[in-house]
Chain A
Amino acid sequence: DQQVKQNSPSLSVQEGRISILNCDYTNSMFDYFLWYKKYPAEGPTFLISISSIKDKNEDGRFTVFLNKSAKHLSLHIVPSQPGDSAVYFCAARADQTSYDKVIFGPGTSLSVIP
């Protein structure tokens, strides 16, 4: 049973437009959410995170929105650039342990078309 879901395996966006990547989760104990970006043949790279006490976090072109009641978060990239083409993983942590075990979604492959 997947606790973190990314229902869109792929997404194509024109350069300069907004990319919106969605993520849903089922475990109400999750308290911290992260987005990672992964290029082929490389490991995932941390992009941005948000605590469950917030509903928005912004870092440059990247903004993450959290809707706790809907158990939904989204990553907005504005404006999208060809270099943003990668697989994006949503991840979540449950504050039930003393360490940072995170659960990853299956990923969404973003293609930004020049």
Chain B
Amino acid sequence: DTGVSQNPRHKITKRGQNVTFRCDPISEHNRLYWYRQTLGQGPEFLTYFQNEAQLEKSRLLSDRFSAERPKGSFSTLEIQRTEQGDSAMYLCASSLGTGYAQPQHFGDGTRLSIL
């Protein structure tokens, strides 16, 4: 399977704990995106990487959130000191940047539940 892979699929944790999610994009894709989706809403942009460089972060991404993409391959999204409001589906997407809009290919997401 050469699609976008996200792990874990589900994460249940207690409030205040740290969590880390991983995303493996499609291998030739140089652009990687993180989104958050809550019930009844569309995906909301969190952050974006072009290769290993993080080029934009949404104001939704508080100081408790950090994302990395070392070596421009897989990416991790860490949430520190989780809060109830962090419960959501976290989606990763990748695309091949060629100068014109390319569709983003999404993984199946990581569902985070904060107890």
Contact = CB atoms under 8 A, between A and B. Distances in A.
Contacts of B22: none
B25 interface: no
Interface residues of A, number: 26
Given A43-B91, A44-B106, A106-B40, A93 B45 contact: no
B95 interface: yes
Interface in B40-97: 40-45, 48, 50, 55-56, 91, 93, 95, 97
Nearest to A104: B42
Given A41-B108, A43-B109, A45-B106, A100 B31 contact: yes
Contact of A43 (B31, B45, B108): B108
B55 A99 contact: yes
A6 B115 CA distance: 32
A103 interface: yes
Contacts of A32: 101
Interface in B1-42: 4, 6, 31, 33, 40-42
Contacts of B106: 36, 43-45
A36 B4 CA distance: 16
B15 to A, nearest CB: 25
Contacts of B41: 106-107
Contact of A106 (B42, B45, B48, B91): B42
10 smallest beta-carbon distances between A and B, as pairs: A104-B42, A43-B106, A46-B103, A32-B101, A43-B108, A44-B106, A89-B42, A104-B43, A43-B107, A100-B101
Interface of B: 4, 6, 31, 33, 40-45, 48, 50, 55-56, 91, 93, 95, 97, 101-109
Interface of A: 4, 9, 32, 34, 36, 41-46, 49, 51, 89, 91, 93, 97, 99-107
